[in-house]
């Protein structure tokens, strides 16, 4: 095998972290190639033609490091479309009572950009980012500015069989990075600053699973907007001037019944999801009757225009504790888009025909936040 080819396979594999079947075959061939006895005494039973030892002239480790360190500056504060990463922490907090707690939270939020820079500078190639979300119940107390037009507590959605529960939460910190230690260090410094001004409602550590798959085995996030469609889908604009540049966030922590899920045939799983499991090809759905998760999660307005959201879901779990789940986090320009999606999933469309994925995935939490612009957060310490 050509030396350059070996180097390219390794480098591209490290860089993309996606391993389709063709890539796997290449890597298997590479391993076989490297295992050939290329030097030393010949094996009398090995009649293969002797070849010169392979000397890899490509500084592969240096290339990978260079690719990761190519970023010159940290990711800007409150960037809701920050890159997907290998690790994430979803931290939901409640603010305690009292003026002192309010002041501590305001000053901490105002300095969140500096805190993020302090951590991200340690490895600029790790794509560290943090997005802060503010809950409805705490907005007036902490932000003290006009409320985003659609911001309200997460509504309980009760269907005939399943319920999307509503749980408390004043602050959300969506912390992500290619490196788990950077997420940890940021959270440690953040909690030191907040002190007893907050209590932890939920802390979930997520990880990227293979080629962006969930623990059910399917690729997650295929329907995300791309390119020029991203910002119009997730950032509030002229329709709500005081909230412009911000984004609505909905989080739900789902746990999966993998034993029951694995008891299904692959074809049954694919019919529930609406895509093929191996190669992620979209399947045609029934025009009437029971619909797939893919169809129920596709939202159109009264004019037939489709509205996208940005998902940054992460698997989480502990095999030793038999915990397997998906942390759903959706960013949207319009909160009603996600709320209508949940109505279609839990109540059904038509009503009574709920999303069959819910027979295997149960939500433990449900909370709504608004991620204001970085400039708004920075202004909180000016009073």
| Three-state SS at 103 | helix
Paired strand residues for 171: 93, 134
Query: What is the C-alpha to C-alpha distance for residues 211 and 35, in angstroms, rounded to an integer?
Result: 27
Q: b vs e for 5-31, b when ≥16 Cβ sit within 10 Å of the residue's Cβ?
A: ebbebbbebeeeeeeeeeeeebeeebe
Structural element, H or E, at residue 252: strand 247-256
DSSP state of 93: E
For the chain, where are the alpha helices, taking DSSP H only?
3-16, 21-34, 60-68, 99-110, 112-120, 136-142, 180-194, 230-234, 258-262, 266-273, 293-296, 335-346, 374-378
- Active-site residue numbers? 220
Q: What is the CA radius of gyration of the chain?
A: 24
DSSP state of 44: T
Q: Beta strand 129-135 with 171-177: parallel, antiparallel or unpaired?
A: antiparallel
Query: What is the C-alpha to C-alpha distance for residues 340 and 157, in angstroms, rounded to an integer?
Result: 10
Query: Which positions ≥6 away from 195 have C-beta within 8 Å?
Result: 104
Cα–Cα separations (whole angstroms), residue 13 to 9, 24, 58, 83, 236: 6, 9, 15, 18, 37
Strands, DSSP E only, in 277-342? 299-300, 306-307, 310-311, 314-318, 323-332
Would you list the DSSP string of 219-246?
B--TT---GGGHHHHHS--GGGGGGTT-
């Amino acid at each position: 095998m050509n030396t350059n080819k070996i180097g390219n396979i390794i480098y591209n594999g490290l860089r993309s972290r996606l391993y389709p079947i063709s890539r796997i075959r290449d890597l298997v061939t590479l391993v076989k190639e490297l295992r050939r006895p290329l030097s030393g005494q010949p094996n009398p039973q090995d009649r293969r033609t002797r070849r010169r030892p392979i000397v890899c002239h490509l500084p592969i480790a240096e290339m990978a490091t260079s690719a990761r360190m190519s970023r010159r500056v940290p990711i800007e504060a409150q960037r809701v479309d920050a890159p997907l990463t290998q690790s994430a922490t979803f931290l939901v907090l409640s603010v305690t009572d009292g003026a002192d707690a309010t002041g501590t939270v305001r000053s901490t939020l105002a300095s969140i950009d500096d805190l993020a820079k302090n951590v991200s500078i340690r490895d600029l190639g790790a794509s560290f980012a943090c997005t802060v979300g503010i809950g409805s119940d705490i907005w007036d107390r902490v932000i003290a500015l006009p409320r985003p037009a659609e911001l309200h507590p997460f509504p309980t959605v009760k269907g005939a069989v399943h319920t999307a529960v509503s749980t408390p939460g004043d602050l959300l910190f969506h912390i992500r990075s290619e490196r788990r230690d950077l997420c940890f260090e940021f959270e440690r410094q953040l909690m030191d600053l907040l002190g007893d001004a907050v209590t932890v409602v939920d802390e979930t550590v997520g990880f990227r699973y293979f080629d962006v798959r969930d623990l059910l085995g399917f690729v997650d996030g295929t329907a995300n907007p791309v390119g020029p469609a991203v910002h119009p889908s997730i950032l509030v604009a002229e329709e709500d001037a005081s909230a412009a540049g911000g984004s609505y966030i909905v989080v739900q922590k789902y746990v999966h019944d993998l034993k029951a899920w694995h008891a299904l045939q692959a074809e049954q799983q694919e019919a529930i999801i609406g895509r093929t499991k191996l190669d992620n090809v979209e399947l045609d759905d029934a025009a009437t009757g029971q619909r797939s998760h893919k169809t129920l999660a596709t939202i159109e307005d009264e004019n037939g225009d489709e509205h996208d959201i940005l998902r940054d879901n992460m698997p989480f779990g502990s095999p030793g504790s038999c915990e397997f789940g998906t942390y759903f986090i959706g960013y949207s320009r319009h909160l009603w888009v996600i709320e209508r999606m949940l109505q279609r999933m839990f109540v059904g469309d038509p009503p009574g025909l709920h999303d069959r994925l819910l027979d295997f995935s149960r939500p433990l939490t449900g909370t709504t936040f608004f991620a204001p612009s970085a400039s708004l957060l920075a202004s909180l310490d000016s009073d």
